[in-house]
Every structure is written in structure tokens, then in C-alpha cells.
A and B are shown apart, each in its own frame.
Chain A
Amino acid sequence: MYEWDFSILWAYRWLFLDGVIMTVSLTVAVVLGGLAVGLVAAMGMLSGSRVLKAGSLAFTELFRCTPILVQLIWCYYALPILTGIELSPITASILALSCYGGSFYSEIIRGGIVSIEDGQREAGLALGMTPALAMRRIVLPQALRRMVPALMNQSILQFKNTSLVSVLAVPDLVYQGQIAAHDSFRPLETYTAVAVAYLAILLPLTLFVRHQDAKFGGAR
């Protein structure tokens, strides 16, 4: 019978804290980056231009249909060779995860926008708004409300996907866990603690989303 001893983890508390900070900061970056990428791709798909449409579609499918782990490694090792621009592991991670998340966000955003009746946009245009203003002030705010649950879900995936950046030696929670495990020879306690840390951060968030969903979803 294995004897659990979580007290050994106390020695690594600062290591874990650094990991949590890195993971949370990365998540903030790749959620914002992913939303920006997704918004641009969604606008491209909805635009009248055939070139923009095809470009956005190609981008979305490329990142949706390849594994994120491959994208991370490719961004770090292959991209600098092709472009001649050195990328730090963190930059490469943010780039890959933003594009990966963006390819999913874009579908959510596009779906949210087309779910708003065309009469809303037309009423805006009829008042003298430019198409861009009608999109920004009339369509997007209403679409966003409908998108919130799906966007939150995707952001939760973004959060968990940051755990893959340890392959590029980015010192996130998982990477720090690996160090602690090697150092202490206590992988069971260490990885249990890592899992609990992810759960402790995410659970309040998902409960909050459920609560909001029940509150606003019922009002419609």
C-alpha cells in the first residue's frame, strides 16, 4: 500500500505558485489573443469578399484540424526557420494557442452573428449607420450575449490547453510539477496537487458560468 505524504510538497510551494501565475497569465493572453483572431476570422468569413472568405476558412480549418501539440512544436521549431524570426518559447506558445483557440472562437462568433435577425442590421443601416458601425453597436452586442456560454466553454479549454506548453519548457504549472516530481521522487503527490490546482481554479469559474446561464438563459 502506497503511503501518501503531501507534506513534502510544502518545500515546492514557491515553484507551484510561479507555475500557477504562468498558467493564469498564459490563459489570459491566449483567451484575448484567441478572441481577437476569432473575431477577425469570423468577420472574414462573413465578408462579401471571396478572397477573405476563403482565407478565413482555410485558416480556421488548418488550425482546427491539426493537433495543438503539433502546432506548438511547429511554431517553435519550424516557424523561425521559415521566417527567420526567433521566437521565445512563450511567444511561440501564445501564437499557437491563440490561433488554435481562434479557429474555434471564430465559428462561435460567426454563428452568434448570423443568429441575429437581419432586420437589426437593416434598421441600423436605415438610420444612417455604416455597416461597420451597425455591426459594432447593434449586431455584435446582441450576438455576444448569445455567445457567452460557448465562449466560456472554449476559454476553459484554452486554460487546460496551456498545460501543453511544458513541451517547450515554458515554466507553467505542469512544467513546475515535473520539476518537483523529479526532485522529490514523489510524482503521485505532485501530479495530484497539480490536478487539484487546475480544478480549484476552474471549478468556481464553471459554476459561475452555470449560474449566469441559468439566470439569463431562462429570461429569454
Chain B
Amino acid sequence: MNRAMIEIQGLRKSFGTLEVLRNINFSVAQGGVVALIGPSGSGKSTLLRCMNLLVTPDSGRISVGDMEFDFGSRSPRPRTRALAAFRARTGMVFQSFNLFGHLTVLGNVMEAPLRVRRMPAGAARDLAMAQLSKVGLADRADQMPHTLSGGQKQRVAIARALAMEPQVMLFDEATSALDPELVGEVLATMRALATAGMTMVIVTHEIAFAREVADRIVFMRDGLVVEDGPARDVIDNPQQEATRSFLSHFHATPA
């Protein structure tokens, strides 16, 4: 068994009176790929955003690689610098791409290596071009984001996250905003990353993809982890009624 790259213990988060995460525990091994599935509003995005601290948990413990944060009434709030350093090591890909509109494709990918890692311009450019080649978009380096298709935008967003050489990659419904014919190219990029040994947590509604690429599936409902097991077992033979009922929506329409 590999050592855990991501470890989450007793994580809780409420927005006002709404309890969105209620005591979440799970871990991801180094190089592991976990797909997070569940109905809308079950707290998947919130959990993912807690993992890179875009959302501050109310209590619990999060560790990624060698960095660890405790939350709760007795722990001091993390400092701005510590938060930034933590996020620099966890790549995040958003449903809506969020490419920087004022920068070229290359500028998008170079920005963080240049400003956060403080690499020299030449090295940052080389790194960015290498990442763009990886997602097959080196020839688009000088274009502005609004001239790209959705699938290309999302691949640039992946290259941008990879340019920070993160220890883990988090995907929040990376293909949900895409036209069906563009989903494949983004999934292929994610599959290649998984094959290359990246530790990944993927929130997705692409059940077939989750079954194929993830080695574990975590099913969430109402802020709780309901089922957590090997991908094929959970999809093909769910143990919990809630999981069965959720998956039935997907089996009904052939993928």
C-alpha cells in the first residue's frame, strides 16, 4: 500500500445553518485516482474546494503531501502565505475553465510559474510550452482564450494547473460545461494524466469514465460519504440503496 497523498479527517462545513459537509473522512494514495460522485447539492464541490482551501472548513484535518492544516476553534486560522503555498501544490480545474481573459494561452500557463514560483521568464516559457504540448495545444500559444473552443479552453486550464507541478490535481466537473462532442478530448487528457501517475480527485457525472479511469469511487449524499470502494465494484454492484438509486439514472440512458 502506498502512503496517503491526501488525507481528510473529520471534515465539517456549514454555510449558515446549512450543514454541507458532515464528518468526511477519506484518503487518496499517492498516484491514486478517486472519482467523487453524488447527487446535486450533496457537497462534492464544497469538499473539493475545501481540499485546496478555497473554502475554509469549520473543523477537521486536511493533509496533502507533507503539508497539513487543522481547523477548529482551537487552531489559529492559516496565514495568507501558508494558504498560498498550500494551494500552489494542489492543482484545481474548474467547470467554467476560468482562463485569464486578458492573457494569451501562453500567458495563462506562464503566469503562476513566473509570479508564484518566481521562475526566470525563459524557464517559465519553456515549462509552459512543454505543458501546452502535453495537452496538444502548443500551436495555440499566442491565441487569446476567447478564440478557443470549450474543450481547448479546458485543456489550457489543465496545462496551467500542471505548470505549477502540483502534487495532486482536483477536477470539479471539468467536462460539464462542454458540448458533447468536446468532452472526449478533455477526458483523454485526464486519462493520460492518471496513467502518468498523478494523484487525482475527480468530481464527475461521467460514470463510464469514472469506472474506467478511477481506482476508487466515493459516493456522497447530503454531506456524507455513503459508499467508498473500488470503482468497478461500486458502479457494477453498489452496496447502498442510495448509491443504487443514484446510479440507476445513468444506467437508464446508455453512455
Contacts and interface: CB of A to CB of B under 8 A. Distances in A.
B101 A119 contact: no
A128 interface: yes
Interface residues of B, number: 28
A161 interface: no
B204 to A, nearest CB: 18
A117 to B, nearest CB: 8
B164 A128 contact: yes
Given A127-B161, A128-B112, A138 B92 contact: no
Contacts of A124: 100
A137 interface: yes
Interface in A118-132: 119-120, 122-131
Interface string A130-169: 1101000110011001000000000000000000000000
Nearest to A129: B116
B84 interface: yes
Nearest to A136: B115
A128 B98 contact: no
Which 9 residue pairs spanning A and B have beta carbons closest together?
A128-B88, A123-B98, A127-B112, A126-B92, A119-B98, A128-B116, A130-B84, A142-B102, A128-B87
Interface in B212-226: none
B94 A127 contact: no
Nearest to B116: A128
A120 B101 contact: yes
Contact of A126 (B52, B96, B99, B117): B52
Contacts, number: 64
B49 to A, nearest CB: 9
Interface hub of B52, B85, B100, B117 (most chain A Cβ within 10 A):
B100
- A contacts with B: majority SS: helix
Given A126-B90, A130-B80, A141-B102, 18 more contacts: A119-B94, A123-B92, A123-B98, A123-B100, A125-B87, A126-B52, A126-B87, A126-B94, A127-B161, A128-B85, A128-B88, A128-B116, A128-B117, A128-B164, A129-B84, A131-B80, A137-B115, A142-B102
Interface residues of A, number: 19
B102 A127 contact: no
A138 B107 CA distance: 11
A185 to B, nearest CB: 57
A210 B116 CA distance: 38
Interface in B62-87: 80-81, 84-85, 87
Nearest to A126: B92
B115 A129 contact: yes
B88 A127 contact: yes
Nearest to A121: B98
B121 interface: no
Nearest to A116: B101
A123 B116 contact: no
Nearest to A122: B54
B12 interface: no
A127 B160 CA distance: 8
Contacts of B98: 117, 119-120, 122-123
A138 B157 CA distance: 15
